[in-house]
Structure 1
């Protein structure tokens, strides 16, 4: 794996972690997070990353 692949994987993992924390925080606050709505893109920016993303 080259450095670009490693960097992309780390960024994806960090984004997932931040989303999980935000989701938990929103649930703890008693609000419905935006990610739960159908049709909402959870991770913006993956569409232009290609079908493998």
Structure 2
């Protein structure tokens, strides 16, 4: 996040970053609808303290 703050305008800095495996189809495409569902399950975003 420090790198982002030093290189990007404030409106481009992500509010949060989540790492983990991405759900993919048999052909290797990312299943975006499953990512959106996971995001809804996570609830509201918390501000990073970095």
Tell me the TM-score normalised to structure 2 length. 0.27
Higher helix share: 1
Tell me the TM-score normalised to structure 1 length. 0.26
Higher relative contact order (CA 8 A, sep 6+): 2
